């Protein structure tokens, strides 16, 4: 079987579970009962053995898909010579009059409907439990097929079971539908066909863990309620806010909906992506599990959630990282499980070939125990922005103590080496980005202490802030490169993280060194279309050829702050063209042909898009004359100029 390009996939889901559905009608990635759980379908990581749940016409056909307006409900249209059918895919939302049992959401519903003429559709159900490590047994039931996993991982040469949820006992996945199924025990799989004429429809779906309640509920009412939920959550957007172009508006709404799919409803945590091990470049072993929450995302997440008016989600996210902040600063990790888990081991699944035969396939993430000093700055900055954005979130004594502990820890350790934002696994350096974020921790910590009148060793903090500023300016800028550089031990390595210097207000945009750095990034890291690679001329790793979407958005933001609005707008319009047809971004893209790469969809990329729209829109309103203070939380209104979102 062939591997499909990432741009052929859509994401559906609810609260804390997702599935990737291809333009050809196959569900090729899905984990149950949660996003971070082991997969039940993983064809995207092994086209022959990963498992899928597919619906498609038996005759030659063309296919396309789109989301129902302002929802995460997917519609895939198949067209043959004799007719046309639409398959509507969604995961149900526990809202309104829907069942309160969480099992209700551990399901995928598929409505098959003939739009015109006649059409025959084939269904293929190939469950592969625990990343295809456990054998599945299929047996018929009164309304479909029950798949049961073995109690233990199959195969002596396969990776050891991890501590995720499927490691004890067997699992069940129920296929339920309005057609008859034939079971092939050798595969194992179940298949079926249905013939429909114009106006006829039938339903199929899978329920994890048990037959109820999917077998007994009103499926059409569930679809209607799910659509209503998504549209109410997004809010009324009948008119595009001036002066925002309609295309930007559409992309922001899609980014909002994508982020909501990833937000864990119990904790407010947001994983970096819905998948694991989609390679950063085909044929190269940089394959990682991104189903974790990275601390470094906090500032950009808070900003994006506020700018789109989602105060409740911003508060939930604040509660999540504020809990992390209260821990011993020496033990704060760069990433956590979605329930705050600290113990994260990385395992390789040797039995899976990987996307487009690029391995290894990894579960868990070995970067969890790394030391990344930038985490402290992102935490303090996120706290600072959150309480500025939302006056209803006061700092309590525990928060104040946590801020003091973190900032004082930074005072003692900012001059040490770390792994950096790009998580180099075998190298430690004095990374510019890490030092910049240490300065942010000190600067915002001082602001928080003075503005909220809590006791803190302000003299010590100010002395360290001044020393750190002097160090960054002295050792971080290279006269030879005429740019801020990747780390203090280089004169030549250019890194896109230097674009954050004016964004974090370390130096004003008009500073000659800032402008020289932007010019160097434009010359050495940026394509004609505005795509930006992460770094070049580094002594740590060879130059990257694939562009990192978030870095492109950083460049756009830095250009806006520099009042280079024409170029910023041009680059933004160009980067929009590299999204998938459904408006989804991966982590990276190949500039030469637009191939999407890396885990998909990528939260960081969509956060960057929302924030860049904010910068651009306000710059257009201000006739291109903006400064960092225009984006200070005290001065900024929400992007859509609306009140609180509906209560959920």
Q: Is the pLDDT of residue 291 over 50?
A: yes
Mean pLDDT across 24-39: 96
Mean pLDDT across 525-545: 95
Mean pLDDT across 474-482: 97
Q: Is the pLDDT of residue 265 over 90?
A: no
Single out the residue of 418, 457, 459, 455 nearest to residue 436, CA to CA.
Answer: 418
Same domain, 265 and 412: yes
Same domain, 308 and 199: no
- Cβ proximity of 607 and 300 under 8 Å: yes
Q: How far apart are CA 394 and CA 317, in angstroms?
A: 15
Q: Which residue has the tokens 């005290």?
A: 634
Q: Which residue has the tokens 């996120």?
A: 382
The H or E element that residue 597 is part of is strand 596-597
Residue 364 lies in a domain: yes
pLDDT at 16: 83
pLDDT at 642: 47
Average pLDDT taken over every residue of the chain: 92
| Structure tokens, 475 | 């050792």
Single out the residue of 560, 564, 546, 646 nearest to residue 611, CA to CA.
Answer: 560
Q: Is the pLDDT of residue 165 over 70?
A: no
Same domain, 224 and 335: no
Residue 645 lies in a domain: no
- Confidence class of residue 15 from pLDDT cuts 50, 70 and 90? confident
Residue 307, C-beta contacts closer than 8 angstroms, at least 6 positions apart: 610, 611, 614, 636, 638, 639
pLDDT at 100: 66
Mean pLDDT across 329-357: 95
Where are the strands (E) in 459-519, listed by range? 477-478, 483-484, 494-495
Same domain, 53 and 21: yes
Cα dist. 140→145, 177, 561 in Å? 4, 12, 63
Same domain, 345 and 479: yes
Of the spans 142-156, 225-239, 437-451, which averages the highest pLDDT?
437-451
- Confidence class of residue 159 from pLDDT cuts 50, 70 and 90? very low
Single out the residue of 153, 268, 313, 127 nearest to residue 206, CA to CA.
Answer: 127
Residue 241 lies in a domain: no
Q: How far apart are CA 293 and CA 313, in angstroms?
A: 15
Same domain, 187 and 288: no
pLDDT at 157: 42
Q: What CATH number is associated with residue 427?
A: 1.50.10.10
Cα dist. 558→91, 161, 252, 484 in Å? 39, 46, 20, 14
Name the burial class of residue 348, with classes exposed (0-12), middle (13-18) and buried (19+) by CB atoms within 10 angstroms of its CB.
middle
Cα dist. 319→78, 339, 383, 533 in Å? 45, 12, 10, 33
Neighbours of 568 (CB within 10 A): 24
Give me the phi and psi of 127, to 5 degrees please: -75, 140
Same domain, 264 and 213: no
| CA geometry: angle 563, 564, 570, nearest 5 deg | 135
Number of domains in the chain: 2
Q: Is the pLDDT of residue 644 over 60?
A: no
| Structure tokens, 429 | 């350096």
Look up the pTM and report it. Answer: 0.94
Q: How far apart are CA 429 and CA 374, in angstroms?
A: 13
Q: Is the pLDDT of residue 166 over 50?
A: no
Same domain, 250 and 294: yes
Residue 389, C-beta contacts closer than 8 angstroms, at least 6 positions apart: 302, 306, 314, 633, 636
Domain end marker among 192, 210, 234:
234
pLDDT one-digit tens code per residue, 309-331: 898 898 999 989 889 999 999 99
Same domain, 103 and 212: yes
Domain end marker among 178, 204, 234:
234
Comparing 451 with 425, which gets the higher pLDDT?
A: 451
Residue 240 lies in a domain: no
Residue 648 lies in a domain: no
| Structure tokens, 282 | 């085909």
Same domain, 169 and 286: no
Sign of the CA dihedral 165, 166, 168, 174?
Answer: positive
pLDDT at 154: 59
Residue 510 lies in a domain: yes
Q: Is the pLDDT of residue 155 over 90?
A: no
Q: Is the pLDDT of residue 133 over 90?
A: yes
pLDDT at 91: 96
Single out the residue of 516, 440, 436, 434 nearest to residue 473, CA to CA.
Answer: 436
Single out the residue of 197, 51, 16, 73 nearest to residue 128, CA to CA.
Answer: 51
Taking each helix axis from N to C terminus, what angle separates 397-413 and 311-325, rounded to the nearest 10 degrees?
A: 60
Q: How far apart are CA 173 and CA 138, in angstroms?
A: 9
Residue 178 lies in a domain: yes
Neighbours of 498 (CB within 10 A): 27
Same domain, 420 and 529: yes
- Confidence class of residue 645 from pLDDT cuts 50, 70 and 90? very low
Domain end marker among 180, 202, 234:
234
Range of the domain at 522: 246-631
Q: How far apart are CA 273 and CA 605, in angstroms?
A: 10
Residue 638 lies in a domain: no
pLDDT one-digit tens code per residue, 177-211: 989 999 999 999 999 999 999 999 999 999 998 76
pLDDT one-digit tens code per residue, 43-57: 999 999 999 999 999
Mean pLDDT across 553-571: 97
Same domain, 414 and 562: yes
| Structure tokens, 507 | 């130096």
Alpha-helical runs (H) found in 486-548: 500-503, 512-524
Single out the residue of 22, 12, 51 nearest to residue 131, CA to CA.
Answer: 51
Alpha-helical runs (H) found in 107-213: 129-132
């Amino acid at each position: 079987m062939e591997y499909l390009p990432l741009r052929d996939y859509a994401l559906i889901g609810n609260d804390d579970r997702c599935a990737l559905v291809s333009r050809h009608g196959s569900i090729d990635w899905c984990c149950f009962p949660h996003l971070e759980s082991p997969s039940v379908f993983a064809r995207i990581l092994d086209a022959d053995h990963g498992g899928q749940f597919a619906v498609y016409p038996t005759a030659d056909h063309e296919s396309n898909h789109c989301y129902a307006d302002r929802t995460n409900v997917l519609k895939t249209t198949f067209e043959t010579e004799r007719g046309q059918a639409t398959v509507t895919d969604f995961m149900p939302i526990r809202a309104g009059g829907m069942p309160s049992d969480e099992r209700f959401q551990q399901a995928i519903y598929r409505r098959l409907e003939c739009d015109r003429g006649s059409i025959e559709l084939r269904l293929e159900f190939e469950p592969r439990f625990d990343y295809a490590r456990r054998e599945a047994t299929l047996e018929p039931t009164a309304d479909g097929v029950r798949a049961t996993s073995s109690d233990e991982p199959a195969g002596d040469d396969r990776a050891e079971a991890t501590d995720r949820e499927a490691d004890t006992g067997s699992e069940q996945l129920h296929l339920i539908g309005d057609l008859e199924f034939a079971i092939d025990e050798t595969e194992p799989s179940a298949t079926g066909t249905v013939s429909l004429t114009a106006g006829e429809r039938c339903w199929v779906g899978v329920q994890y863990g048990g037959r109820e309640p999917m077998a007994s509920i009103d499926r059409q009412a569930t679809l209607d309620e799910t659509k209503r939920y998504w549209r109410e959550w997004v809010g009324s957007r009948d008119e595009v806010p001036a002066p925002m172009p309609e295309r930007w508006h559409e992309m922001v709404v899609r980014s909002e909906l994508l982020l909501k799919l990833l937000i864990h409803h119990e904790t407010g945590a947001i994983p970096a992506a819905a998948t694991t091990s989609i390679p950063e470049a085909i044929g190269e072993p940089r394959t990682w599990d991104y189903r974790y929450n990275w601390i470094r995302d906090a500032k950009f997440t808070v900003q994006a959630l506020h700018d789109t008016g989602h105060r409740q989600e911003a508060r939930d996210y604040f509660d999540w990282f504020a809990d992390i902040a209260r821990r011993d600063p020496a033990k704060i990790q760069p990433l956590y499980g979605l329930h705050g888990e600290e113990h994260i081991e990385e395992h390789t699944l040797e039995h899976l070939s990987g996307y487009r035969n690029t391995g290894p396939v990894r579960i868990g993430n070995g970067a969890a125990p790394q030391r990344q000093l930038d985490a402290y700055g992102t935490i303090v900055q996120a706290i600072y922005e959150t309480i500025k954005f939302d006056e209803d979130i006061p700092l309590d004594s525990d928060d104040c103590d946590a801020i003091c502990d973190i900032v004082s820890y930074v005072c003692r350790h900012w001059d040490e080496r770390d792994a950096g934002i790009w998580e180099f696994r075998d190298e430690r350096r004095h990374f510019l980005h890490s030092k910049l974020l240490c300065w942010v921790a000190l600067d915002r910590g001082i602001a928080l202490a003075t503005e909220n009148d809590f006791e803190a060793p302000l003299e010590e903090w100010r002395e360290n802030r001044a020393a750190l500023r002097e160090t960054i300016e002295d050792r971080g800028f290279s006269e030879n490169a005429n740019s801020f550089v990747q780390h203090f031990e280089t004169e030549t390595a250019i890194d896109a993280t230097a674009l954050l210097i004016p964004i974090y207000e370390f130096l004003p945009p008009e500073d000659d060194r800032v402008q020289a750095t932007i010019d160097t990034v434009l010359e050495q890291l940026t394509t004609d279309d505005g795509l930006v690679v992460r770094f070049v001329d580094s002594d740590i790793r060879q130059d990257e050829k694939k562009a990192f979407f978030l870095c492109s958005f950083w460049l756009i933001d830095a250009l806006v702050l520099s009042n280079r609005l024409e170029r910023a707008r041009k680059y933004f319009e160009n980067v929009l063209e590299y999204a998938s047809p459904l408006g989804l971004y991966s982590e990276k893209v190949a500039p030469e042909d637009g191939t999407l790469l890396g885990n998909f969809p990528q939260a960081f990329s969509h956060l960057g898009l929302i924030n860049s729209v904010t910068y651009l829109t306000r710059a257009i309103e201000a006739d291109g004359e903006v400064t960092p203070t225009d984006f200070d939380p005290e001065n900024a209104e929400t992007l859509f100029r609306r009140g609180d979102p509906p209560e959920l």
